[in-house]
Structure 1
Amino acid sequence: MPAAPTAELVSAARASGHGVAAFNVITLEHAEAIASAAEQTGLPVILQISENAVKFHGGRPEPLIAATTAIACGAKVPVAVHLDHINSEDLLRAGVAAGVTSVMFDACALPYAENVEVTARITAWAHERGVWVESELGEVGGKDGAHAPGVRTDPGEAAAFIAATGVDALAVAVGSSHAMTERTAELDFDLITRLRAGVGVPLVLHGSSGVPDGDLRRAVTAGMTKINIGTALNVAFTAAVRDHLVAEPAVVDPRRYFRPARAAMTSTVAHLLKVIAA
C-alpha cells in the first residue's frame, strides 16, 4: 500500500480520542523495527526523519526518505513518513520534492513575531503543494543541551499563532523535554486541557521518551494527539548492542548485534503503541 498521509492518521486519532505515535528514524533498522511493531499491534504509526538524522547521513535527504518510504509502503498497516524539526528551507524543499507530504517546521527559537512570519510563509508554500505542517510554540527543551523548565505554551498566544500562521498542528511545551533517558518528566495536564479547548488544531507532545506510561495515556485523554518518541528507541538499541558485544567481544559482523538491537526497538515500539494508540 502507499505511505499513509500524516494528516489522515492525525485527524483520525483526534476524532476518535486516541493518540497516534510518531517515532524517529535514524537507521534502516529503526524504520524496520517501527513498521514491524505497527504490524504486530495492528496500529498505525508515523516514521519521522529529523534534520539531525539527515545531517548524520551526509546532508542528503533523498536516500533516507526513499528507504523509509519503501518500508512504509510495504507495511500491512497505515504508516506515514514525516519530516521532523526542520529548520532549513532548502531541506524542506528537497524533502517535499522527494515525496514527503508532512513536515514539522521548527522556527520556535526565533522571537515570536519572527516565528509567526517565517511559519506563515512556510505554511503557505507547503499548503500550495498539499503538504501538512506542524510547528512549535514554547520551548520543550533538551535539544542541543538546552533545558528550560517552566517555559510553557500560553493558550491565548497559541490560538493567535495558529490564526496567524494557518498551521495544521501545534507542538506545545507542557513539561516534557527532548533526549530524556529516564521517564521522570512531569506534565502539566491542566495546561494540556486548556490548550485543547483553546486551539482548533491537533496538539503534539515532543520529548515523550521521558514521560511514564500512565502519564502518556493521561496526556492523550487530556488532549494531546500526536506523540513523538525518539530517545526510547536509541536506549533500547544501544543496550542490546552493548549486551551483545560484552557477551561476544570477538564479533565483528554488525548483523550479529544489529539483529538483537532491532528486536529490542521493535519491542519498545510495540509497547508504546499500545500505551498511546490502543
Structure 2
Amino acid sequence: MPLASTGELITRAAAARSAVAAFNVITLEHIEAVVAGAETAGSPVVLQVSENAVKFRYGRLLPLARAAVAAAERAAVPVALHLDHVQSDDLLRQAPDAGFSSVMYDAARLPYAGNLAATRAAADWAHAQGLWIEAELGEIGGKDGRPPLDAHAPGARTDPVRARDFVAGTGVDALAVAVGSVHAMTTRTAVLDLGLLKRLSAALPVPLVLHGSSGVPDDGLVAAVGGGITKVNVGTALNAAMTGAIREFLAARPEAVDSRQYLSVGREAMASEVRRIIGVLSRTGDRPVP
C-alpha cells in the first residue's frame, strides 16, 4: 500500500486514546522485522531512521531510506517513515525527497532559548515541505553514551508551563517529554512520573511522545498510553533481541559462517519483539483490547 503519513497515524491514535509504535531501524533486517511484526499484529507502524543510524551508514541516508520505502509500500499494514533525532540541518532538508513524512528535530542540547529558536526555524521549514515535526523538551538522556541526568537535576524533567510556551512558540506538531525514561537502557527498570505526564497531557494541545521506551516495563508502557502518550519510540529492545538471538545461535554453532543463517534468526527475534510490544500498547489498563 502507499506510504502512510506519520501525522495521520498519530492523529487517529490520539482520537482513539491509543498509541502508535515507532521502531528505530539500522539494517535491512530491522526494516523487514518491523514490517513483519506489525503485519502479524495487524497494526500500523512507524519506521524510524535516526541521525546516528545515518552516520553508521557512512553518512548516507538514501540507501536505508529507499529500502524502508520499498518495504513500506509492500506492507499489508500502514507504514510511515520518520527521520529521528535530527540535529543536522543538511540532513533535515533531505527528508522530503527520501520519502519521510515526519522528522524529530533535536535541539534539546541547547539552552531553552536556543532550542526554541532553532526548533521554530526547523518547524517553519518542515511545515512548508508538508512534514509533521516533533521536538524534545527536557533531558531524556542516554544518547551517545552520555549518562542520564539525576532525577532532581535542573532540566531532567519537562516542565508543563515551559512546555506549553515552547509548543506555542515553535509550532511543533508533537513533543517528546522527559518523564523518567532513558535512551539505550538494556534493563526494563525505568519508573515513569505518571503525575507529571498527566499534567503535561492537560497542559499541551499536541500529542506526547515517549523516548527511551525499551527501558520501561510493560505496565509502565500501558500506563503511559493511558496518561496521554501517543507515540512510543523503541530502539534498543530490537537490538537486544537481535544480538541475543545471534549470540545464542553462534555459541551453539561455532562453525557457522553463512551470515544468512544467523541474520535470519536475529530478524525473527526482532519481529517477535515488535509483535509483543505492539500487543502491550494495545492494552487498556490490564485488559487486552479484544
Q: TM-score range by the shorter chain?
A: over 0.9
Counterpart mapping for 1:183-198 below 5 A: 183-198=188-203
Secondary structure (helix, strand or coil) at the match of 2:95 reads helix
Corresponding position of 1:264: 269
How far, CA to CA, are the matches of 2:187 and 2:71 in structure 1? Answer: 30
Q: Using the TM superposition, give the Cα deviation of residue 60 of structure 1 relative to its aligned residue in structure 2, in angstroms.
A: 1.0
How far, CA to CA, are the matches of 1:184 and 1:4 in structure 2? Answer: 33
The one-letter amino acid of 1:59's match is: G
User: Deviation per CA, 1:65-97, whole angstroms, max 9, x where unpaired?
Assistant: 110111111101111110000100101111222
Secondary structure (helix, strand or coil) at the match of 1:237 reads helix
Q: Which moved more, 1:94-103 or 1:16-25?
A: 94-103
The one-letter amino acid of 1:21's match is: A
- Which structure 1 residue ranges, 5 or more long, are not aligned? none
Counterpart mapping for 1:125-274 below 5 A: 125-146=125-146, 147-150=148-151, 151-274=156-279
Corresponding position of 1:113: 113
Corresponding position of 2:23: 23
Secondary structure (helix, strand or coil) at the match of 1:134 reads strand
Q: Is the 8 A contact 1:174 1:191 kept in 2?
A: yes
Q: Which moved more, 1:95-104 or 1:82-91?
A: 95-104
Q: Using the TM superposition, give the Cα deviation of residue 47 of structure 1 relative to its aligned residue in structure 2, in angstroms.
A: 0.4
Secondary structure (helix, strand or coil) at the match of 2:179 reads coil
Corresponding position of 2:286: none
Structure 1 stretches of 4+ moved >6 Å = none
Secondary structure (helix, strand or coil) at the match of 1:104 reads strand
Identity of aligned residues (%): 57
How far, CA to CA, are the matches of 1:61 and 1:214 in structure 2? Answer: 35
The one-letter amino acid of 1:246's match is: A
Q: Is the 8 A contact 1:142 1:179 kept in 2?
A: yes
How far, CA to CA, are the matches of 1:161 and 1:121 in structure 2? Answer: 13
The one-letter amino acid of 1:149's match is: D
- Which structure 2 residue ranges, 5 or more long, are not aligned? 284-290
Secondary structure (helix, strand or coil) at the match of 1:94 reads coil
How far, CA to CA, are the matches of 1:161 and 1:115 in structure 2? Answer: 9
How far, CA to CA, are the matches of 1:160 and 1:56 in structure 2? Answer: 35
Q: Using the TM superposition, give the Cα deviation of residue 3 of structure 1 relative to its aligned residue in structure 2, in angstroms.
A: 1.1
The one-letter amino acid of 1:94's match is: Q
Q: Name the count of aligned residue pairs.
A: 278
Corresponding position of 2:103: 103
Q: Is the 8 A contact 2:41 2:279 kept in 1?
A: yes
Q: Using the TM superposition, give the Cα deviation of residue 202 of structure 1 relative to its aligned residue in structure 2, in angstroms.
A: 0.2
Secondary structure (helix, strand or coil) at the match of 2:182 reads coil
Q: Which moved more, 1:14-23 or 1:140-149?
A: 140-149
The one-letter amino acid of 1:43's match is: S
User: Aligned-pair RMSD on alpha carbons?
Assistant: 0.8
Corresponding position of 2:288: none
TM-score under structure 1 normalisation? 0.99
Counterpart mapping for 1:61-72 below 5 A: 61-72=61-72
User: Deviation per CA, 1:174-206, whole angstroms, max 9, x where unpaired?
Assistant: 000000000000000000110000000000000
Q: Is the 8 A contact 1:84 1:105 kept in 2?
A: yes
Q: Is the 8 A contact 1:65 1:95 kept in 2?
A: no
Corresponding position of 2:46: 46
Q: Using the TM superposition, give the Cα deviation of residue 145 of structure 1 relative to its aligned residue in structure 2, in angstroms.
A: 2.3
The one-letter amino acid of 1:157's match is: R
